[in-house]
Chains A and B, each alone.
Chain A
Amino acid sequence: AQRVTQPEKLLSVFKGAPVELKCNYSYSGSPELFWYVQYSRQRLQLLLRHISRESIKGFTADLNKGETSFHLKKPFAQEEDSAMYYCALFSGGSNYKLTFGKGTLLTVNP
């Protein structure tokens, strides 16, 4: 069975500091991984996906198959980055599903 683990429930950093949100996964196939974000009073929305290898709002995430990780990083955090972040894994085949982790609440202090 597939699983997504986000070990930190809460993460607090100061503005301008680097930030890393951890995500580990368990999946027998080739993973398709995503980061979703929910800002205060807004809908859950896609931040980035590993298949497009893009950088959004300064965030990047690299898939490490050896460590089964997909950590989200940003070199200099901004106050507007404060939000709930969810890592998610997509599986297709005979049962399409998107499995989310429990989320990490990031707070960027001034």
Chain B
Amino acid sequence: DAGVTQSPTHLIKTRGQQVTLRCSPISGHKSVSWYQQVLGQGPQFIFQYYEKEERGRGNFPDRFSARQFPNYSSELNVNALLLGDSALYLCASSPSGGAADTQYFGPGTRLTVL
């Protein structure tokens, strides 16, 4: 298993545009979480999905949305991009997303907003 995969690796957008980031979890994992990591900071939680349902949401504006598909892959959408959305976006998968789970992280998607 290649582990958690994310696409694309890098992305450059301009202010006001919309972006979609993709994540494929480890086979057998039913939970996917999304994080934003700004340079010099720790990952900041955006969403957790389990069995296609949103189970957790961080303090992000409604411009951020996500969904999980029947094969447990996930997409993160960000609308009306701002310069401050420039960051590394991390996806993590786990069997159930619970406290006892280990979260396995992907390599991230580097988003630059100009």
Chain B 54-97: CB-based contact to A (< 8 A → 1; otherwise 0): 01111000000000000000000000000000000010100001
Question: Is there a chain B Cβ closer than 8 Å to A102's Cβ?
Answer: yes
B42–A43 touching, CB < 8 Å: no
Using Cβ atoms and an 8 Å threshold, which residues of chain A touch B42?
A: 4, 6, 86, 88, 100-103
Question: Is there a chain B Cβ closer than 8 Å to A45's Cβ?
Answer: yes
User: By the criterion of a CB under 8 Å from any partner CB, how many residues of chain A are at the interface?
Assistant: 22
Which A residues form the contact surface with B (CB < 8 A)?
A: 4, 6, 32, 43-46, 49, 51, 86, 88, 90, 92, 95-103
* Interface size, B (range): 20 to 34
Using Cβ atoms and an 8 Å threshold, which residues of chain B touch A99?
A: 45
A98–B41 touching, CB < 8 Å: no
Chain B 33-52: CB-based contact to A (< 8 A → 1; otherwise 0): 10100001111110010100
Using Cβ atoms and an 8 Å threshold, which residues of chain B touch A46?
A: 102-103
Question: Is there a chain A Cβ closer than 8 Å to B12's Cβ?
Answer: no
B106–A100 touching, CB < 8 Å: no
CA distance A100 to B45 in the complex (A): 8
CA distance A88 to B92 in the complex (A): 14
Find residues 97-113 in chain B having any chain A CB closer than 8 Å to their own CB: 97-100, 102-107
B55–A96 touching, CB < 8 Å: yes
Q: A43-B105, A45-B105 are in contact. Are A97 and B45 (CB under 8 A)?
A: yes
